[in-house]
Amino acid sequence: MLRSRHVMRQLQLPLQRAYSTGSNPSDGKDPEDLHPIRRTFRLLGNDMLKIKEFFVPTAEKYKDVPKPIATQSKFKFGGDKGLDDEFQTHCDVLIVGGGGIGSSIAFWLKEKARNGLNVVVVEKDEKYTRSATRVSLGALTQQFSLPENIQMSLFGAEFLRNAPEHFGTDIPIQYTPHGQLVLAGEADADMLKQTSQLQNELGARNELLTAERLASRFPWLNTKDVALGCLGLEREGWFDPWALLTNYRRGALGYGGHFVHGEVVDFVFQNQDDIIVTGDSSATEGSYQSLDQVVVQMADGAKRTIKFAICIIAAGVDSGNVARLAHIGRSSGLLRVPLPIDARKRYMYELSAQERDAPGMAMPMILDTSGIFIRRQGLGGHYICAHNGHL
């Protein structure tokens, strides 16, 4: 037993010395350094110090760096790095489309992975003149029938409420907490009850109102053909979608993401002889082709390629066209099913009503039984309305 304790003390001594030496390695003059176990512990100690310095930067090293914007992560967002960026010929994740969805994906990937993941976003419309995000109502609600949509919306409400902690206050998102009112006729009343129950079970808060209670609570509302209404009580409202997109893009850039102004015009494939596709009767051994590179036509007309590991299509109404370039919907087997996204017209209108009995501050965002939805815009008797589907 005494011998064992002596050995342990001998092993602890070089380990303590290894950590105390820091980044100054031995010059080899100490005869104890010739012992292989001590030498191993010294090297391990130096490696551990380097790891510690990487994850916990010293104040001296970063004393001249401006104070970052507060975020929920211990790795702080240092602000917008600007648009001047070196073209990335290789990346881990390629995102086609830099609108609300694409920029959001880039932001969250870089917020979590930082330098561990190279993310490139390709966006053809640099000013977003045709982006659906700019003309979105910016509505936030939990009144869905799928649990996944409800849970994502609950997360979105918490995220928007704490938006200054993520993005700072330079570009306010102008989140307006307010409920949404969904109306249903006799045919859809039972479904509205079921979805309301599911939403409340998952953490949302809303209440069901009969036509009589709706008329009493909102005297300006025409309740003809309305059997039931579901009113959100909290964590619903609307925001400025253009401000949110700007913050997502700015945040992704600040975390080291890359945005490329160009249009995806083709993909380059690579034969994968070592991959066999199972469950596809049309697949043969050695016939699998994987996506390898994307061909981007730059603003000046030049074509450049980017090699990637993962590709995410978030091109809005152009997603179906981009998918076809990747042979989705144009090939056999697993690729015979097209991406069901195509462009269609959507009309939005701004209304103005200055009558004394017009809806005011208490007006929720309303989804009518006909599919028309409307909400107030500001405080001056202005409203935005559109139709959820074809007219």
Q: Residue 18's pLDDT is what?
A: 40
Q: What is the 3-state secondary structure (H, E, C) of 135-159?
A: HCCCEECCCCCCHHHHHHHHHHHHH
Q: Where along the chain do its domains lie?
A: 2-55, 72-138+240-343, 142-149+156-237+346-387
Q: Residue 68's pLDDT is what?
A: 38
Q: Residue 36's pLDDT is what?
A: 63
Task: For the chain, list residues with pLDDT below 70.
Answer: 1-41, 43-44, 46-85, 279-286, 389-391
Fold of 142-149+156-237+346-387: D-Amino Acid Oxidase; Chain A, domain 2 (3.30.9)
Q: Residue 286's pLDDT is what?
A: 63
- What are the angstrom distances between the C-alpha of 138 and each of 33, 133, 231, 239, 309? 66, 8, 18, 5, 33
Q: Residue 3's pLDDT is what?
A: 45
**Cβ atoms 182, 229 nearer than 8 A:** yes
Q: Residue 32's pLDDT is what?
A: 53
Q: Residue 66's pLDDT is what?
A: 42
Amino acid identity of 257? G
Q: Is 355 exposed, middle or buried (0-12, 13-18, 19+ CB in 10 A)?
A: exposed
Q: Residue 95's pLDDT is what?
A: 98
Q: What is the value of pTM for the model shown?
A: 0.73
Q: Please give the span between the terminal C-alpha atoms of the chain, in angstroms, as a whole number.
A: 88
Q: Residue 124's pLDDT is what?
A: 95
Q: Helices (DSSP H) in the chain: which residue ranges?
A: 2-21, 36-55, 100-113, 147-161, 163-167, 189-201, 211-217, 241-254, 319-325
Predicted confidence (pLDDT) per residue in 113-162, tens digit: 988 999 999 999 989 988 888 888 889 999 999 999 999 999 999 999 99
Fold of 72-138+240-343: FAD/NAD(P)-binding domain (3.50.50)
